[in-house]
Structure 1
Amino acid sequence: MMGGMASEETRTVTSMRIRNPETDTLSEPATRAWTMRLLVVGIVLTALNLRPAITSLGALLEEVRDALGMSGSVAGLLTSVPPLCFAVFGVAAPRLARRFGPGAVVCAGMVAITTGLLVRPYVGSTAGFLAATALALMGIAVSNVLMPVIVKRWFPDRVGSMTGLYSMALALGTASAAAVTVPMTEVLGGNWHSGLAVWAGLAVAAVVPWIPFVRDRGDRGAAPGTAAEQKHARVDAPPVRITRSRTAWALAVYFGLQATGAYITMGWMAQIFRDSGVHAGTAGLLLAVTMVMGVPLAFVIPRLATRLPHQGPIVLALGACGLVGYAGLYLAPVSGAWVWAVLLGISNCSFPLALTMVGMRARSSAGVAQLSGFAQSTGYLISIPGPLLVGVLYQHSGGWGLPIALMAGLMIPQMAVGVLAGRNRVVEDEAAR
């Protein structure tokens, strides 16, 4: 539709020249301002929907298991489905964006999330529940990959601030779904079906802003404005041989290791505190604090990252917070619980930093699309074994010493590859060599 909007805008401006030349200079800026505001709304609403399908289920997993008769192994599979779907479906996002336009693919992703969230509580079987969950995760996967592309394409001079905005919205959606799902279910009569399905309403709202961009194909739907902005907007550049880039591989491994840490934290941190003697309610609050830390920092870190020629210092600072947090969990899990929760929350802000570096390490939106798809898909594949391995170590060792040692140990290579990914280079140049 953006292509249609562009041609309609041209016809409108032409006709206004005939009828009222004095208003000629106002038409295009007004249309551009409206487009930019609509994009910002779409980006924020999309980001809010990129995690509730996961964290709302985690809050009601016990009720879902009892109702559907899930075994422990199947329930464990549910915790590994998100990164698996992100890896599998994320690969297709750049190709879909080149064919249909990123706006159309994100819009379809929001429709998939809406459908999956609305259907899965009422299918009545484990297989159906898994299939509906996978549909929602498919929509999340393509949107995950294309958010940096949208930002690079329409906001090439504001990559840091816009990445920070949607990272903050993503963190807010993650924390809100974890904290609100159970109380909201109780308000709705204690029915877990309604408690899960209600999040489809948020996904519906995210569909609407993308409808005007469904017909956008990149070259015809270039962002209105200067020639430089239109150059940035193109998504039909020749594909980059992304696997030839060392920076792309460093980003992929960094993304995978930070995702491993994040999923381990979300899945096991509350249990670590409970096994150490912390009350269950307090353990849940500690986990919420860890997730909420991402709301303000997800806005600050990307803005800071874009102002630095090398993002390595931020990588090292976040990694140091993680190392101290894990050491605290091992040495004094109860007495310093709130401090460790805050430090691990800061460490988990490696995610918005990784997204920001994806937008900075490619010259064009086409390059960002390929880099984002490669880094996220490869990264999520790397992250799959982590939470499962922590569970195995905990079960066989009978304590949290070895799992915490694993978490801390993974932070070292994460910092190393993050420093490599933070160098001021672009993947197009490395691939060309």
Structure 2
Amino acid sequence: MSLDKHPARVFANWALLVVLGLNLRPLLSSISPLLLEIRHDTGMSFQSSAWLTSLPVICMGLVALLGVRLQAGLGERRGVALGLSMILGACLWRLSADQAETLMATALLGGAGVALIQVLVPALIKRQFAQRVALALGVYSASLMAGGGLAALVSPLVAGHFGHWQAGLGIWLAPALVALVLWGLLPFASGARTAGEPAMRPWRNRRAWLLALYFGLVNCGYMSMVAWLPAYYLQMGWSAAQSGSLLAFMTIFQVLAALVMPALAHRSTDRRPLLAVSLGAQALGYSGLVMWPLESPYVWVALIGFGLGACFALSLILTLDHCRKPSEAAQLAGFVQGAGFLVNAVSPWLTGWLRELTGSFVTAWWVLVVAVVAMLLLTRIFSPQSNIRCGGIIQAAA
């Protein structure tokens, strides 16, 4: 039995995938439940505080677009280690943050670290879990979302215990440190593009741009929810702990969807029915937030969480359907995530701007409904035959 197929090594690979995912969202979701205290102490407006979510997402986009060069220059082992170190450093810095500029700097530092890891994970999955790509993407997506929900739940509790919001933000250096140690002890097998293998140029291909736009818009609601859902209910009189728990509740359904929907996707090559169900759930949830926010908040949040969790995993699977090799997965997924996250970054900023302009989040939720319905109509073009054909075109253009 080879080392890679040894049960202990297989378990270690899965465990490491989960630990990596857990570290990729606390930087974002720990902010919103503590937003009132942060704004009070730093003097930030709604629109300026939106940058604490938008800046990391912009970093995710820009770093992802450089993914192929970073992978070649750093390698997977050093690249992931650097990303975890940057997240750890950002959380450590937040323990002493007391100014808006400092928080912005930590958002940039940690966001770059998150982005670096996200660029490398699809290729790791495509190679390390070659026979279970859909399942591995589901586990990765679920752990990523679980980390976000856990941060929303735990951060206000930690902040309340220690008496200052900095503790609620900085506590997330602990899982980053654990992941960094585990990565050093149990790294995935590294892979590199072989000499003479051409680099893809997805920015020259219409289908690659369409995948990037699709990834960005079907997932942009997550960034708005992470940034503003607790704030929405804080304005209705909920406490920080209650509003944070609402985001954590949403995460439960994200995790369930991220595990169940890719498992269902594994049974068919047609992603469109599952994507349609997922986008429909999002549309219903956002509409409920507008029309009946206090009557059934947990129903709307559950629908949103289910839709977002499924869409993140399924849109990644859809992207990998256009690839044949791990190196192609790294290049196309890097481009799709890069451009897609830049689209995502507009969402929390736009929501904050609309809140400042109208005095309410309602308009922003309607914008999300329109975006989701538009993507629901677009989903029909991603037939299995079209994915294979256009995947070949992307690779031929390399």
1:180 matched to which residue of 2? 154
Deviation larger for 343-352 or 95-104: 95-104
Partner of 1:7: none
1:310 to 270, 291, 296: 270
Q: 2:90 is matched with which residue: 116, 130, 154? A: 116
Distance, in Å, in 1 between the alignment partners of 2:94 and 2:169 is: 8
Identity %: 28
1:182 aligns to what SS in structure 2?
helix
Structure 2 equivalent of residue 334 of structure 1 = 294
CA contact (8 A) 1:56 1:196 kept: yes
| Counterpart contact for 2:152–2:245, Cα < 8 Å | no
SS of the residue 1:366 aligns to: helix
> How far does residue 29 in structure 1 lie from its aligned partner after superposition?
4.3
Q: For the structure 1 residues 332 and 131, does the alpha-carbon distance in structure 2 shift closer, same or farther, using more than 3 Å as the test?
A: closer
Contact 1:235/1:365 (CA < 8 Å) preserved in 2? no
TM-score by length of 1: 0.81
Once residues 226 and 4 of structure 2 are traced to their aligned partners in structure 1, the CA distance between those partners, rounded to angstroms, is 44
- In the TM superposition, 1:254-269 aligns within 5 A as 254-269=214-229
In 2, Cα distance between the equivalents of 1:360 and 1:103? Answer: 25
What's the CA shift string for 1:209-258, capped at 9, x where partnerless? 32257796525xxxxxxxxxxxxx96983211213444422221111112
Q: Any conservation in 2 of the 1:244–1:430 contact (CA below 8 Å)?
A: no
Give the unaligned 5+ runs of structure 2: none
In structure 2, what is the Cα distance between the partners aligned to 1:269 and 1:190?
A: 23
CA distance change for structure 1 residues 335 and 362 in 2, over 3 Å: closer, same or farther? same
How is 1:57-206 mapped onto 2 (pairs within 5 angstroms)? 57-70=31-44, 73-122=47-96, 125-187=99-161, 189-206=162-179
C-alpha deviations, 1:272-315, integer Å up to 9, x for none?
Answer: 4566x574465544333222211122111112223211101111
Q: Which of 206, 209, 219 pairs up with 2:182?
A: 209
Q: Which has the larger radius of gyration?
A: 1
Provide closer, same or farther for how the CA distance between residues 200 and 391 of structure 1 changes in structure 2, counting only shifts above 3 A: closer
Q: 1:380 aligns with which of 337, 341, 345?
A: 341
The CA distance in 1 between the partners of 2:339 and 2:191, in whole Å, is: 26
Task: Give the distance between the partners of 2:169 and 2:81, measured in 1 at CA.
Answer: 21
Q: Give the structure 1 partner of residue 353 of structure 2.
A: 392
Checking the alignment, whether the CA contact within 8 Å between 1:250 and 1:417 is kept in structure 2 is no
Q: CA deviation at 1:269?
A: 3.2
1:97 Cα offset (Å): 1.4
Offset at 1:410? 0.6
C-alpha contact (below 8 Å) 1:106/1:143 kept by paired residues: yes
In structure 2, C-alpha distance between the alignment counterparts of 1:261 and 1:85, rounded to whole Å: 18
Q: 1:320 to 1:217 in 2, by over 3 A?
A: closer
Cα pair 2:61 2:115 within 8 Å, conserved: yes
Greater mean deviation of Cα atoms: 246-255 or 40-49: 246-255
Deviations 1:123-169 (A, max 9, x none): 55443332233111111011112211110011111101111111111
TM-score (norm 2): 0.88
How far, CA to CA, are the matches of 2:42 and 2:233 in structure 1?
29
Contact 1:64 1:192 in 2 (8 A): yes
Identify which of 357, 376, 379 aligns with 1:415.
376
In structure 2, relative to structure 1, the CA distance for the partners of 1:341 and 1:48 (3 Å cut) is same
The answer to whether the 8 Å contact 1:51/1:173 transfers is yes
Match of 1:429 in 2: 392
Q: Secondary structure at the match of 1:302?
A: helix
Conserved 8 A contact 1:44-1:165: yes
Structure 2 vs 1, CA of residues 67 and 150 (structure 1 numbering), >3 Å: closer, same or farther? same
The answer (yes or no) to whether the contact 2:65–2:335 under 8 Å persists in 1 is yes
Whole-Å separation in 1 of the counterparts to 2:195 and 2:185? 18
- Contact 1:98/1:235 (<8 A) preserved: no
In structure 2, do the counterparts of structure 1 residues 337 and 120 end up closer, same or farther at CA, with 3 Å as the change threshold? closer
Q: Is the 8 A contact 2:250 2:301 kept in 1?
A: yes
The answer to whether the 8 Å contact 1:247/1:421 transfers is: no
Between the aligned partners of 1:58 and 1:340, the Cα distance in structure 2 is 19
The Cα RMSD (Å) is 2.8
Q: How many residues align?
A: 392
Distance 1:199 1:100 in 2: 25
Displacement of 1:50: 0.3
Q: CA deviation at 1:114?
A: 1.1
CA contact (8 A) 1:185 1:195 kept: yes
- Answer whether contact 1:246 1:430 (CA < 8 A) is retained: no
> Within 1, Cα distance between the matches of 2:130 and 2:303?
32
Q: CA deviation at 1:84?
A: 1.1
Partner of 2:246: 286
SS of 1:60's partner is helix
Cα distance change on mapping 1:162 and 1:30 into 2, 3 Å: closer
